[in-house]
Amino acid sequence: MHARLFNKDEELGKRDDDFKPKRSPTASALMKPWQWRKRRLFTIAAAVLMLYVFVHNLPNDLGPVDERAGRALRPGHTVIAPDIQTSQQEPRGPPPGYSGGQDGEAVRHNYDGPIKFYKLATSLHGISRTMGSRPQNRNVLFAVSSLRSAANLMPMACEMAKWDRNYVHMAFLGRDPLPLDDILEVNGVSKKDCAVYLHDARGDYSEYSSEQRAEISVAGAMKHINDFMHPQAMIMDDSMAEDTFFTRAMRGKARELGRALIEVPSGRYEEFFWMTRLDSGSLSNWFEPVIDVLIHAPTDSSGGLMRLVRSLQSADYAGLKVPRLTIELPTHIERFAQRFLQELEWPPISDPSPVKQSTLTLRHRIPSSRLSSEQASVRLLESFYPVVTEHNHVLVLSPQAELSPQYLQYLHYVVLEYKYSTYPSPSSEELLGVSLDIPSTFLNGSGSFVPPVTAEMQARQYLDKAEYDQAVATPFLYQAPSATASLIFGNKWVTLHNFLSNRLAASHAGKAEKTTKLVSETEPAWLEYLLELMKARGWSMLHPGTSFVTIHDELSQIPEEFTREKSTGKKDAAILEQPEHAEEEAFLTASDPPDIVSHVERQPRDTQPLHEFLPFRGDLPELTQLPYMYNTGDLINATRAAELKDDYITLFRHQIGGCDHPQAARKRVVHELDTNDLFCLPGVEIQFDLEAADEEAIALAVIQETSGPAGHDDGEEEEVTAVEEEVQGSAVARAGG
């Protein structure tokens, strides 16, 4: 019966063979005492020999302890390789040959004998049957050594188990001999309320272990644990709070296994509770997202810039990677601002090391003339490009913003949940990024914007009046760009670069019509291009229910690309300053300058931990369950959003992309990071979507077509791949004529 179970379960088949106990329990029980003793004698003799060689070599090599430990941990040194024991009783009291540590004296850590795990096998065998050990699974491991760390992490592990997204394990790897049940009791945890799988991974005589033996014991136990459960992520207490040998062994093992080892910063256990709502996929990618901060400082914004940078400096970065900071400076910088930047320490962490690396970049603008909206857009977009498209994201900040200290924790949480979860929602690819702000106006800068509330959620479970206050603001998706405080994902930024290349080519080729600006002129010009792309791709931005920024209005100003000069002729009329290149203004602007509407002050709440003030007890709803707001401010459903997107694509191709009517309406193949499907430009390949095609039709339909009247002249040819027969006919006819 068991054998069949094992055969059926391929997960078990993948278990590493070398984990199997060297001797099966029955074999060792049948072994004659003298045989057993001979083995043990041999092992001890070998260990003593090893130890002798090791100690003997010490004077020649007084290198760092790390190095020595690393050497001893190498696989060649099998003599003291930790072994799992299943059948024997663990010996009590001090190990044989233990010297010192009389009654009343502190236990001496000097035992260096072989390591055996007597208590680990039972719990490990228990888990492998229930949850398997595929390399990709739902196991998350909390690893602790000191009893204090156990107390620190226990509530977190229990909480994670309660959310039931992961199989939560907790392994005890330290020196303390306190039995597991007592540890639980001391911490007030009962197995009934806390569905964590506990593993006692302490070796024999752990109390008497030397540092070296303790470290090897941790590494050895972790090997067995990994063989059995392949934890997707390992969570430990702050390395400053944990035992040194444990930290060293865990770090080495995590590197070797290629697993994320998350250190919860000391004293921040409650603040990091949001972590318990993440699944193993998100946790295993803990270190992947890299956030860069980009601040664009217009002329005369030094006061705001300094306030913003100060809020960045005093934000909470414990346990997270401090973002790189790039500041785009205007031509003229005030002296006090210059001094402030010179003295700015970034990253803002008291790192005593003299080789501390600054990650602050300043960019200074040379021309003092006014930029066209095209130049302004290009300048901003060019100031960042992701190294790794999937993982590098940019947080664009305006000097009007002042950040909440929890901004990075929130971004980290949301990005890990929506981008890295094991089961991402299909609409996560349509997420442009994460805004920290709640808008006060519609895109056109007018009207009072009312953020959606719980009653407008798109999932029935949230409409339960008894459970959730229906009038509370919720997070929502909004198909509108914002430059106030928005994180934009790397792959979306790359696509925007590509889009702008095509878009500018279309403008300069005279193919694009000048369209009316939809985004208020109080916003930077690049947002108009981003809005076009968002509409064509169906992207939206996630806004929080509670704001993570305060927007200060007193310094708000119209971006220079839209500033106007008072005309001397007419009374009170203002005209837009004429840029040197009219073709670089792709949009029609309003005849009057825009009004600056003051931003509704939404004071960020930051006295509570994140999981307490986020709605729905800190659980992030699925993206499809959130209210979805179209760029006009209407709440719509997914069906309607898809229709609007298709209509817009057709309109865009015709109005801006340079496509004629039949071309504009046909479905095209969409490639990631690329926007060629929105344009019919010379040199741009046109690939129609070949959904219902059979192989033969495709082969027949591969034909060449010139790109219409303009493309014909410069001899540029485009490849057209088509399937449907009537299109084939028309394409051939056009190519012939």
Ligand X SMILES: *[C@@H]1O[C@H](CO)[C@@H](O)[C@H](O)[C@H]1NC(C)=O
Q: Give me the residues that bind ligand X (CB under 6 A), please.
A: 442, 444, 446-447, 632-633, 636-637, 639-640
CA dihedral 115→116→122→128, nearest 10 degrees, is 50
Dig out the tokens for 412 from the structure.
Answer: 């980290």
Q: How far is the CB of 444 from ligand X (least distance, A)?
A: 4
- Backbone φ, ψ for residue 560 (5° rounding): -60, -30
Q: How far is the CB of 627 from ligand X (least distance, A)?
A: 13
Which of 380, 641 has the CB closer to ligand X? 641
Which of 64, 426 has the CB closer to ligand X? 426
Q: How far is the CB of 385 from ligand X (least distance, A)?
A: 33
Which of 368, 448 has the CB closer to ligand X? 448
Using alpha carbons only, how large is the chain's radius of gyration in Å?
32
Which of 568, 639 has the CB closer to ligand X? 639
- Backbone φ, ψ for residue 307 (5° rounding): -65, -40
Residues pairing with 305 in the sheet: none
Q: How far is the CB of 397 from ligand X (least distance, A)?
A: 25
Q: How far is the CB of 622 from ligand X (least distance, A)?
A: 16
Q: How far is the CB of 515 from ligand X (least distance, A)?
A: 15
CB-based contact 241:146 (threshold 8 Å)? yes
Q: How far is the CB of 630 from ligand X (least distance, A)?
A: 9
Work out the burial of residue 666: count CB atoms within 10 Å of its CB; fewer than 13 is exposed, 13-18 middle, 19 or more buried.
Answer: middle
Q: How far is the CB of 543 from ligand X (least distance, A)?
A: 16
Which of 484, 491 has the CB closer to ligand X? 484
- The alpha carbon of residue 573 and the mean position of all alpha carbons in its chain are separated, in whole angstroms, by 49
Half-sphere exposure (CA, 13 Å, Cβ side) for 461? 6
Q: How far is the CB of 571 from ligand X (least distance, A)?
A: 24
Which of 244, 515 has the CB closer to ligand X? 515
Within 10 A of 662 (CB to CB), how many other CB atoms are there? Answer: 11
Which of 628, 688 has the CB closer to ligand X? 628
CA dihedral 524→526→531→532, nearest 10 degrees, is 140
Q: CA–CA separation, 397 vs 295, rounded Å?
A: 5
Which of 284, 441 has the CB closer to ligand X? 441
CB-based contact 506:656 (threshold 8 Å)? yes
Which of 566, 640 has the CB closer to ligand X? 640
Which of 249, 641 has the CB closer to ligand X? 641
Residues pairing with 141 in the sheet: 169, 234
Distances (CA, A) of 293 to 341, 366, 676: 15, 22, 29
Distances (CA, A) of 224 to 16, 134, 229, 248: 9, 15, 9, 18
Helix (H) or strand (E) holding 533: helix 526-537
Q: Is 727 helix (H, G, I), strand (E, B) or coil?
A: helix
Q: How far is the CB of 635 from ligand X (least distance, A)?
A: 9
Which of 480, 533 has the CB closer to ligand X? 480
Q: CA–CA separation, 733 vs 705, rounded Å?
A: 10
Q: How far is the CB of 641 from ligand X (least distance, A)?
A: 9
Q: Is 684 helix (H, G, I), strand (E, B) or coil?
A: coil
CA dihedral 660→663→668→670, nearest 10 degrees, is 0
Half-sphere exposure (CA, 13 Å, Cβ side) for 649? 22
CB contact set of 118 (below 8 Å; sequence gap of 6+): 85, 88, 89, 90, 204
